[in-house]
Chain A
Amino acid sequence: MNDRELDAMLRALPRSAEPPGDLWPEIAASVAARPRGRSRVAWAAAAAIAIGTAAWWSSRPTPGREAASIVVEAVIPDVAIEPTPAPARIEPVAAPAFTALIPDESHLRAASLALASAYASRRGGLDRTLLATFDDNLGIVDDAIERSRAALTTSPDDPGLQRALDRAYRHKLSLLRRATEVERSP
């Protein structure tokens, strides 16, 4: 084969290749562990604060609090479709049984519930576009959490799935923390 023939073969090479499976759920979960604009140390510190806040919050003797927070978590994605900037309505319901699928899941879940509650309480003062962005992103992360949990129920020892779930929770915490820190619109 001469150079010209090799060049002709090269020109005919396509530039794309189909990845083996959809990588997006794992990517969406991974960006949680490395949020933008802060060092990893700062992120770790912020996550620790969030978890500490959740621990304090979860220790408060408020009947029905856990159930109410679950409602808040479920309500957030729906509010994005109905962009009424009123605080989410919280009503006590019976709490479904929860089983942690990774070692830190109880803490991560408690932290996200606490932050979701704080986010819900200040939605009314936030810009609608910003709200929609947060809600869209939270919906994606919630979907990643659900998918990871569903997969873990059939493959509970899969380390990749465990990491994916951990990252999805941390991404959710990051999003909620930013949502609760953003300044209210005038």
Chain B
Amino acid sequence: MGTALATFPMIARAPEDEDEASARVDRARAGDLAAFEAIYRAEAGRIYGLCLRLCGDATTARTLTHEAFVRAWEKLPSFRGDAAFSTWLHRLAVNVVLGDRRANLRRAARERDQGEGAATTSEPQGRVDAGLDLERAIAALPAQARMVFVLFEIEGLGHGEIAACMGVAEGTSKAQLHRARELLRRTLA
């Protein structure tokens, strides 16, 4: 994943009627594509924001947002309402991003084994220029530290969940969070 962070224009999310949102999910689950479009309109900003923060690259985030919604359409019939729909959709998007990262790592490993050049998953290291805001500082974190940081600090997942999602030990998650916070403090000082 690249390090280019596009502008991060934030949008406010209008509150909406829970019954209406629930009915929309029911219709989409039954195959109503127009209802699914309404879900996209309501959730695209949060899903794109999540993907952008996790991968740190606007082009990749766009692709992953697309994939997350396609995956959501496929899996909607299995949504039983045990969790809030937005929570379900967020977890699904997290899995899409992490799956993409795993695929990139596998591909990079194959290319290294085949002597086809350096790995493509370069991780941004070191300080960013002074004056860059928190978003840019997060995007400049090393990939694993960034993902742990975003999932823990912004998305509210626990270390156990993060470890399970990312396929790492819980201690690794805690260490990466500590590393991310330390890097951010230094970068933003």
Binding site for B on A (CB under 8 A): 1-3, 6, 9-10, 13-21, 23-24, 26-28, 30-31, 34, 36-37, 133, 136-137, 140-141
Contact = CB atoms under 8 A, between A and B. Distances in A.
Nearest 7 A-B pairs (CB), nearest first?
A16-B45, A17-B49, A14-B10, A19-B48, A137-B33, A31-B73, A1-B185
Contacts of A136: 32-34
Given A27-B70, A36-B76, A19 B33 contact: no
Interface string B177-188: 000010011001
Contact of A17 (B8, B31, B134): B8
Contact of A140 (B9, B34, B77): B34
B123 interface: no
Interface stretch (B58-66, B94-102, B166-174): B58-66
A37 B76 CA distance: 10
Contact of A133 (B30, B62, B65): B30
Given A10-B154, A36-B74, A133-B31, A19 B10 contact: no
Contacts, number: 104
Contacts of B184: 1, 6
Interface of B: 6, 8-13, 30-34, 36-37, 40-41, 44-46, 48-49, 52, 58, 62, 65-66, 69-70, 73-74, 76-77, 134-135, 153-154, 181, 184-185, 188-189
A21 B74 CA distance: 23
Contact of B13 (A15, A23, A36): A15
Nearest to A141: B33
Nearest to A133: B32
Given A20-B62, A136-B33, A36 B12 contact: no
11 contacts: A6-B181, A13-B154, A14-B12, A14-B49, A15-B13, A16-B13, A17-B8, A27-B69, A31-B33, A31-B36, A137-B34
B77 A23 contact: no
B9 A36 contact: no
Given A6-B185, A36-B77, A37-B77, A18 B37 contact: no
Given A27-B70, A137-B32, A137-B34, A20 B58 contact: yes
B45 A18 contact: yes
Nearest to B37: A24
Nearest to A23: B66
B185 to A, nearest CB: 5
A34 B72 CA distance: 11
Contacts of B13: 15-16
A35 to B, nearest CB: 8
A17 B10 CA distance: 4
Given A19-B48, A133-B30, A140 B37 contact: yes
Nearest to B153: A10
Contacts of B154: 10, 13, 15
